[in-house]
Amino acid sequence: MVNKIKAKKKKEKDLKILGAKTKFKKQVSESSRRYLRRQSKDIYSNMAQDEGYRSRAAYKLIDINKKYDFLRSGMAIADLGCAPGSWCQVLNRTLKGSNHTIVAIDKIPIDELENVNFLRGDFTKDEVYEELLNLCPNGLDVVISDIAPETTGHTNTDHIRSMALVELALDFALTTLKKDGIFLTKIFQGGEEVQLRDSMRNYFNKVAFVKPPASRKDSKEIFLIGIGFKGRG
């Protein structure tokens, strides 16, 4: 009987990880425990839960828009790598009404969102591009991208992978943006982002790095915004 009680207590203990319930302790890695620990203390994660956003990433876009005030009613906007959809939620709440067009693109499906046209697929593929043109025949006012590669823990590798995705997103923006349009993308810092910023000045009137308060201080994540698209030329 004593052994059974001890076994039961051990199982109950193993099911508890820092106040968050999971399946079994043996199935949770140390990195997962660190993640749970950080999330439980994170103000933006708690705010997202309270305010109905699908992830804390929502506040990054909110912060950037507070600084640059670039989201306007009536815009046509593409959200690249949109899953789980928190940036689309911000767009809906900021723009309000139904006179804007939001096109969300990702290989990963998302739960349906009102006023959001979801295209499942790779934004670099012709079939996705054709669907986008059907929804936004006059082009886009804004292209936003929160795409990130799967991280390896090796800073240089993650930076290179991030830059490759950013360059694809930029090419998409240069192809689809209207005059005076805006491009916003996430980057993992590593050095090459400075050269990208300089090259973007050929296409936009203003280009700047921004680190929103919602972006963790210890993260290599930073955002690059281009305002006032001049044309591909």
Active site members: 186
CA–CA dist 50, 159 (Å, integer) = 33
Task: State the burial class of residue 37 (Cβ atoms within 10 Å of its Cβ: 0-12, 13-18, 19+).
Answer: middle
CA–CA dist 176, 173 (Å, integer) = 5
SS3 74: coil
Nearest to 61 by CA among 181, 210, 199, 203: 210
CA distances from 158 to 58, 128, 187 (A): 23, 26, 10
Extended beta strands in 67-193, E state = 76-80, 101-106, 116-120, 140-145, 177-188
Are the beta carbons of 220 and 188 closer than 8 angstroms? yes
